Structure 1
Amino acid sequence: MTNNPWLDQYPEEVPHSYDYPRQNLAKFLVHSATAHPQHIALDFLGKKISYANLLESVYRFANALQSLGVRKGDRIAIMLPNCPQGVIAYYGTLLIGGIVVMTNPLYVPREIEHQLTDSGAKIIVTMDALVERVHKAMERRPLDYTIVTSMKDYLPFPKNVLYPIKAKKDGMAARIEYNERVLSFVSLLKNAADTPVEVSVDPEEDLALIQYTGGTTGFAKGVMLTHMNLVSNTIQAQLWCYRTKIAYEKYLAALPFFHVFGLTVLLNQAMYIAGTLILIPRFQIDDVLKTIHKKKPTVFPGAPTMYIAVIHHPEVGSFDLSSIQICVSGAAPLPLEVQERFEKITGGKLIEGYGLTEASPVTHANNIWEKRKQGSIGIPFPDTLARIVHPETGEELPIGEIGELVVKGPQVMKGYWNRPEENERTLRDGWLFTGDLARMDEEGFFYILDRRKDMIIAGGYNIYPREVEEVLFEHPDVEEAVVAGVKDPYRGENVKAYIVLRKGSNVTEQELKSWCKERLAVYKVPKIYEFRESLPKTLVGKVLRRKLIDEENEKLVNQSKVDL
């Protein structure tokens, strides 16, 4: 694209381009610990760890890995909630040139086996309560070592003493038999040297992370992200948040670090500017509101469901949320009503951004303090190009037309792990084909209409679920809504809405249909409505539309069996 209209929308403070340091990603921590050794890096349920102490633990972990025979390029899996052990294992692995494989603690054995076998991980760092699941998953290909920790290991007194009682009550208690292959995280650190260690890496070629994508269709693919991919995306995100101050900001870390969004905009970004990470191991709205009230975080990246939980909490008015200045929403569309109510309650700014695992992940965001547009994902980050192309031919389309969004920039992945045919399909001349249908307006703001595979075709009309969902969200009785296409023998597909109502609401299907008819073309109005207590979601809060579609397909299969 010869003309990049979005550059005219940049605030004066944000550069169009930047010279990103070619370095190991873990240098963010090393530099901050050198400049601000006594500043608090982590606050874990009241246990505070300074930058100097964190770096010492990271060096100990790095030396421990080397003593276990780990060498540059070896894959180390980390399967933990947000806790100090995860941060230590992450940066310790990076310092010795290892490749981190972030693994979701909610995974079942089948998913764990696929991810660890596909990546060739030699070691996993995990919680005591998850060890049995890991062993079951890896029966056919045992790991070299399982490094085991417990939540109580980094809890402050008296929580550390009380935790085993709570774990037993919650069915999370675990008895671990340590041996030469099952090692204690705490003992490993205690017995290791704290001498600085850093193995030389080629930042543009060497991998820092293999991050597995959602895998809603078939098994997940491993995205190869280099040190430079993650260094540049962390700095791009920081350039966007130009009012943040070094060694001052407090980040509410409710997004999990095993998701690349949380990894970049929370963990890496906080370490880059010597911020304090307030670690939230599990998102529970009552605890989150109490934490904001007490700890006063200034930055709160999240998913729309997190902000929805805040604004709909019956006692939200009794908490002081005024410390929050910046919130970047990702992982799913942000309804306008949620944005407006959240900003009114907190006084902070909540903007929608866009990204995907293959881009480390952020490529677009709305301006935080300057011009932004309703329903838009914003404009491309510094050094990021974006265009709309014909999904089949790849030819660039005129402004305003709908096509596939493609992006190019220093944050775009090296490729998929051991998937050369996927790389050819997804990466072309440095351009990443996102699979998302979008359009760009004349000022360079981009609008996502939907994933290509999520588009509904009913009676020959193209219908974008997001457009219908926005209308449903505007209804005062609707708390959450998702729209999907369900098979129909006559129209091809019908529009079906899955609705979660606000507590105490008794709105009917007919009332919702009338609401939609006033605001949408008749062919876009949902034909079927299903009221639910909740919607299936990922841990990041992204609604699993594909799971709902699979449920519908299963119903059809079962019905056809009955008919036979």
Structure 2
Amino acid sequence: MADIATHVRSVAEEHPDEVALSYQGRETTYEDFWSRTGQFAAALDDRGVGEGDRVGIYLPNLPQFVTAFHGTLRAGGVVVPMNPQYKSREISHLLEDSEARTVVTLSDLVPFVEEVRADTAVEHVVTVGEAVDSGTDFEAFLADDELEAVERDDEDLAVQPYTSGTTGRPKGVQLTHRNLASNAQTAADLVPDGIRTDDKQLGVLPLFHIYGMTVVMNATLFNGGAYYPLPEWDAQQALSLVEDERLTLMHGVPAMYNDVINQPNAAEFDLSSLRLAGVGGSGIPIEVLRRFEELYDVKIYEGYGLTETSPVTHFNSPEAGRRVGSIGKSLDGVDARIVDGSFEERPPVEAGPVDEEETDLDEITGELVVAGPNVMKGYYDLPEANAEAFTDADGKRWFHTGDIGYWDEDGFFYVVDRKKHMINTAGYNVYPREVEELLFEHEAVADAAVVGIPDERRGETVKAFVVPASTASGGSSDGESDGVPVPDVDVTPDELKQYCLDNLAEYKHPREVEFVEELPRTTTGKVQKYELRDRDEDE
């Protein structure tokens, strides 16, 4: 199996005049795209950035992201993708831990990099947008000549994204060329007849996220298709692009499909050019799926994956069959099991999905574990986390997904719950501890707990239960208003929401803040979050 840069070079040599990227009406051929990746790689090489060196890409979906991504790999480097919604507080650990020497970012985001730069290994800042004093403009950064692709082995690192996983501190996920290349090609093969040179892929899923990176960008470029990036999600813009350019492929998270069907003029758009619509990131509500399919006569195929698995492990493919409510069957080459706490395999049910109200889920469910060429090498410099994440059995190295589910005799898998308290909002993972720690820094907050609550659009959203300082410190009756605790410090729920929004990415901030007198805890002091979720549902 060849490294990622070699895959793309082969496509560029075979289809030099085909469109690789189309952005705001400007098309870039494979020949020109490959040339620009060579110029970016040469620029890195000129600055001593090469094999194994980390390059942070802190950009929305722009052509420069695609060029920097493949240019970094062409130079033998390792890409560290970073969410452009992140602020200095959030990128600090990513840059420190990865020891990235170069960061490519929007001019508007440079202040966040500069704020933490002294504590990192960052030497070069490459900017997209208006010129700034502390960075080099992207076009000026490109070298005049091109660097030949540095050959990398299958097991060499290609990308190091960060995920919260089962702890609050983000962990670097080591994904190799083999991990990503195998999954990109497998994802492409799930499309009927595979992705072709005449396919046009809608690029609305963020490229810093493994779903958009592998299933959308790389699967397309590996097979000569055209990638149409959009920097931010806008339902009207996305629908118009599909209709006007006759796009053939799209992937999204459930919230995007929900936005589409709720557009006032949704029925006016013609999406008949689509030959596959995929969804992942979280389970899509059946009603959303049904309404989309009725509107456009286009089936949605649901899949499942994680950052640690590059990401896809399961998919309801057109050829293998679809079962609504299921994450699909495991991909070719990927082994999956449902196991109990002793790693004994749970037997399958006759056929799914089961009626969860009428079924004792404890009897059929277990943790989903997977093994295959797409499973990460491991977490970066975290041996204890790796020991917990993997189990060696039957000659395979099984990764624990942390999700609870069951499977049926036809090979379809179903996920019913998350093992940990991770909140999945519109396809983004939010670890409550991160939000809680920020809330604790506010002078009006004595105690706080963050949980995920149901949300029609996002699947889940973030809610914070806050014990005001007045309540915890034994405040008098002045600390309550109509039976609701109020803090000594003058602050409202809306102000706490804004405080979180000012310090965290938009999707992480609590959409709801509720003041409470105390949090339910166990005798060992752990917050009983299920009680908070139940309390919210009862209100």
Please indicate, yes or no, whether the TM-score normalized by the shorter chain is above 0.5: yes
Of 366, 375, 384 in structure 2, the residue corresponding to residue 421 of structure 1 is: 384
> In structure 1, how many angstroms separate the alpha carbons of the residues matched to 2:457 and 2:229?
27
Residue identity over aligned pairs, in percent, reads 38
Tell me what 1:308 maps to.
258
Of 269, 276, 295 in structure 1, the residue corresponding to residue 226 of structure 2 is: 276
Of 145, 148, 157 in structure 2, the residue corresponding to residue 197 of structure 1 is: 148
> In structure 1, how many angstroms separate the alpha carbons of the residues matched to 2:14 and 2:123?
37
Classify the secondary structure of the residue corresponding to 1:118: helix
Tell me what 1:447 maps to.
414
Classify the secondary structure of the residue corresponding to 1:106: coil
Is structure 2 residue 124 aligned with structure 1 residue 184?
no
Of 383, 389, 394 in structure 1, the residue corresponding to residue 343 of structure 2 is: 394
> In structure 2, how many angstroms separate the alpha carbons of the residues matched to 1:369 and 1:543?
35
Distance 1:283 1:481, change over 3 A: closer
> In structure 2, how many angstroms separate the alpha carbons of the residues matched to 1:243 and 1:36?
18
Of 301, 316, 322 in structure 2, the residue corresponding to residue 372 of structure 1 is: 322
1:184-241 Cα offsets, whole Å, 9 max, x none, are 210121x4303x51212111x2100001114685121110000000011011112221
CA apart distance, 1:245: 4.7
Q: Are the equivalent residues in 1 in contact too, given 2:461–2:510 (CA < 8 A)? A: no
CA apart distance, 1:486: 10
CA apart distance, 1:296: 1.4
Q: Are the equivalent residues in 2 in contact too, given 1:427–1:433 (CA < 8 A)? A: yes
1:390-440 Cα offsets, whole Å, 9 max, x none, are 1x3222222231000000010000000111100000012210000000101
Q: Are the equivalent residues in 2 in contact too, given 1:303–1:542 (CA < 8 A)? A: no
Q: Are the equivalent residues in 1 in contact too, given 2:157–2:176 (CA < 8 A)? A: yes
Tell me what 1:241 maps to.
191
Distance 1:440 1:64, change over 3 A: same
CA apart distance, 1:357: 0.5
Letter in 1 for 2:176: T
Tell me what 1:73 maps to.
52
CA apart distance, 1:36: 0.9
Letter in 1 for 2:69: Y
Which range moved further: 366-375 or 399-408? 366-375
Which range moved further: 209-218 or 240-249? 209-218
1:111-122 pair list within 5 angstroms: 111-122=90-101
> In structure 2, how many angstroms separate the alpha carbons of the residues matched to 1:130 and 1:388?
43
Classify the secondary structure of the residue corresponding to 1:314: coil
Classify the secondary structure of the residue corresponding to 1:374: coil
Runs of 4+ in 1 over 6 A off after TM superposition: 483-487, 541-544
Distance 1:61 1:484, change over 3 A: closer
Which range moved further: 444-453 or 337-346? 337-346
Q: Are the equivalent residues in 1 in contact too, given 2:159–2:175 (CA < 8 A)? A: yes
1:437-493 Cα offsets, whole Å, 9 max, x none, are 01011111100001112499xxxxxxxxxxxxxxx99xxxx6665499999xxxxxx
Classify the secondary structure of the residue corresponding to 2:252: coil
The higher-RCO structure (CA 8 Å, 6+ apart) is 1
Distance 1:71 1:320, change over 3 A: same
1:363-406 Cα offsets, whole Å, 9 max, x none, are 0011225532121001000011101111x322222223100000
CA apart distance, 1:71: 2.0
1:42-88 Cα offsets, whole Å, 9 max, x none, are 11111111110000100111111100001200001001111111111
Cα RMSD between the aligned structures?
Answer: 2.8
Letter in 2 for 1:176: V
> In structure 2, how many angstroms separate the alpha carbons of the residues matched to 1:245 and 1:215?
32
> In structure 2, how many angstroms separate the alpha carbons of the residues matched to 1:91 and 1:454?
35
CA apart distance, 1:175: 5.2
> In structure 2, how many angstroms separate the alpha carbons of the residues matched to 1:30 and 1:75?
22
Distance 1:547 1:420, change over 3 A: farther
Normalized against structure 1, the TM-score is what?
A: 0.73
Q: Are the equivalent residues in 2 in contact too, given 1:78–1:102 (CA < 8 A)? A: yes
Normalized against structure 2, the TM-score is what?
A: 0.76
1:148-297 pair list within 5 angstroms: 148-150=127-129, 176-177=132-133, 182-189=135-142, 191-194=143-146, 196-203=147-154, 205-214=155-164, 217-297=167-247
Q: Are the equivalent residues in 2 in contact too, given 1:223–1:357 (CA < 8 A)? A: yes
1:515-544 Cα offsets, whole Å, 9 max, x none, are xxxxxxxxxxxxxxxxxxxxx99xxx9986
Letter in 2 for 1:187: A
Distance 1:200 1:455, change over 3 A: closer
